[in-house]
Each structure stands twice: as structure tokens, then as C-alpha cells.
Structure 1
Amino acid sequence: VKEKFSFLRRRHTDTALASKDGKPLKPTPEVALSWSTSFDTLLQDKYGLELFRDFLQSEFSEENIEFWIACEQYKNLKSSKLNAQAQKIYTDFVAIQAPREINLSSKTREATAGLVGSPNRHTFETAQRRIQALMEKDSYPRFLQADVYQDLLGDQKAHFKLNFT
């Protein structure tokens, strides 16, 4: 699990997405175009996820994707580590006045707080779904129109504009 998401600990796209010889591992325009088919497709692609994360960072809203990633990692932890990590995720993202507080309804926040006391792999499921829906509705469309994404499309840009607009 650590290996699966270790690339996400890196902060800058240029270094995070470079091969051993330093050359960037950019996706093909066709792969980049596939990200426009669904938000899930973007989230499942390593380069796409990292690029989306950098985009959110440029908009000062990276706490949403950071929370989403933390939840994905949490689901794959050994049972013995769930309690400590649940507390960390709650303290970092869910608690009122958390350092990277995410935008949740009071109902979702309270329900999640109640689950943290006896955590399991589903503790953050509702909160994660809400944040994913928020990103899909709000940030994802802006990402698809952003220069950083449009530049990856290359010759596929015309095809994208015809199908997206």
C-alpha cells in the first residue's frame, strides 16, 4: 500500500513524475483525453491524480484531494494501524478547526466523529464520498479547462472540445 501511493508524497509534478533518468513520464494525449470521460478515470491514473493534486494546490484547495488520498490509504491498512490513523485523519481533516479542514456538513462531520472512536475500514466512507462528489462537481470541470490539462491533449484538443462542450 505504501508503495502504491508513495508517489503522492512528492510535491512537485516535475520531480514526482520523472523516470530514473530524469525525463518526465507524460501520458499520451489519448490517455489524458480519457481523464475527461470520468472523474474516477482521472483518480485511478497516477499521473492524472498527481496533476489534479497540483492543480488543486494552485487553487489553494488541496486539502480535499489530500483527504481523499488519506482515505484510500486508510482502507488498505492493517487492522492494528486503523485506530492511530483514524485519529490522525480526523485531527488533520475532519475536526472543526483542523489544520487542513475539509468542507463537510455538520451531520457528516458528527457521524464521522462518532465512528472514529471504534474505527474500521469504512469509518471515512461517507465523508470521502462527499468530498469526492464536491471535487467532481466543482474542481474537476475547472481542471479539464485548465491550461495544464489542455496542454497535455495536444492534437486531441479539438476532439475534446467537440465532445465536452
Structure 2
Amino acid sequence: MRILNIKSGFLRRRISESPLSTRPQPEEAQKWAESFAVLMASKYGSSLYRAFLLREFSNENLEFWLAVEEYKNSKPQKMAAKAQQIYNDFVAVQASKEVNLDSETRLITLTNVQSNNPDQHVFDRAQRRIQHMMERDSYLRFLQSELFLELVRNERCSASTS
């Protein structure tokens, strides 16, 4: 299977061919190690993190997190339909991109989605749980990955030559 042989160079090329092709300064990349929130606030950083997760076949948590962020900015009249779609795609048992949630969080989320007037807080508990999992696992692996370290090494090389 060719997809299993994806190299980090391929992912860097893909990202460099995207609209986010401006490679960040090493100082910016180093800031991503401060917190998950700082990483996600950077368009390049979040794209690189997504590429990392795709390579590991574990991108459903990030996709859910991003879908919830987008949902929070939805127009109120579209929230009910979007909430149901996110629930069906990510939260429901055996969903196509099911995220790993405990049964209590799943039930609370379902209750929120099925309420008469879902608001921007419908997925708060589930999103916090998924973010916490990413912060403890895939985010830390990302910070040790060649995709990230290559950007940071450039800073060290630049600093040592000055």
C-alpha cells in the first residue's frame, strides 16, 4: 500500500503547495510548543498538525474539534441541522469518524443536540474531552515529529551561526 509509505517530505511539499505556502519563521513554530491553543491559532501550524494526523491515520479528533469550532460560528437558524450532522459524523456510536468519548459525554451531547434550541455550547463537554486527549497524546507526538522539529532546528541553526 503506497499510502503507508508517505514521507514527511511529501507532506511538506503538499503544505507548501497549499494557499498557506508561507513557511513560518522558526520563532513562530517554536511558540506552537507552548500550548495546543497556540498551535491551533496558527493556520500553518494547524495545517501541519492535520498533515501529521493524516499520516498517522488519526485525524478524526482534530476534524471533530474543527467542526465544533466552525459550528460555534454558525447562524442560529442553521445550528440544529449542523449539530445533528456533527453528532452523526463523530459522536454517534459507529459513526463514520467516531471519536473516543465516554458514554456519559455521548449521552449529554445527544441530549444537547436533541434539545429544541441547540446553542454554541452543545458540544462543549465533548470538545473539551477530545482536546484533552489530543493535548496528552497526538499533540505531544507532533512536537517530537520531524515535521515540527525541522522548523525548530532551523531556528537553532540560525541562532548558532549568528
TM-score by length of 1: 0.82
Q: Name 1:109's counterpart in structure 2.
A: 106
User: Who is 1:143 aligned against?
Assistant: 142
CA distance in 1, matches of 2:75, 2:105: 25
Number of aligned residues: 142
Which of 29, 32, 57 pairs up with 1:35? 32
1:47-89 superposed Cα distances (whole Å, 9 cap, x missing partner): 0001001111111110000000000000001100001100100
CA displacement at 1:124 relative to structure 2: 0.4
Query: How many angstroms does 1:114 deviate by?
Result: 0.7
Query: 1:154 Cα shift?
Result: 2.9
Deviation of the 1:127 alpha carbon: 0.3
Distance in 2 between residues matched to 1:77 and 1:155, nearest whole Å:
39
Q: CA-to-partner distance for each residue in 1:21-59, whole Å, 9 max, x for gaps? A: xxx211000000000111110011110001001111111
- The residue number in structure 2 matching 1:53 is 50
- Does residue 62 (structure 1) correspond to residue 55 (structure 2)? The answer is no
Separation (CA, whole Å) in 2 of partners of 1:152 and 1:57: 19
- TM-superposed CA distance for 1:17, in Å, is 4.0
Kept in 2, the 8 Å contact 1:64–1:135? The answer is yes
How far is 1:120 from its partner?
A: 1.1
- Aligned pair partner of 2:96 in 92, 96, 99: 99
* 1:13 Cα offset (Å): 2.1
Q: Sort the Cα spacing of 1:157 and 1:101 in 2 relative to 1 into closer, same or farther, 3 A.
A: farther
What secondary structure, in the 3-state scheme, does the structure 1 residue paired with 2:17 have?
helix
Deviations 1:91-111 (A, max 9, x none): 000000000000000110111
TM-score calculated relative to the size of structure 2: 0.84
Counterpart residue type for residue 123 of structure 1: V
**Secondary structure of 1:47's match?**
helix
Contact 2:16–2:22 (Cα < 8 Å) also in 1: no
Percent of aligned pairs sharing the same letter: 49
- 2:127: which partner in 1? 128
What amino acid is the match of 1:131?
I
Separation in structure 1 between the aligned mates of residue 119 and residue 30 of structure 2, nearest angstrom: 36
RMSD: 1.3
Q: Which has the larger radius of gyration?
A: 2
Aligned to 1:6: none
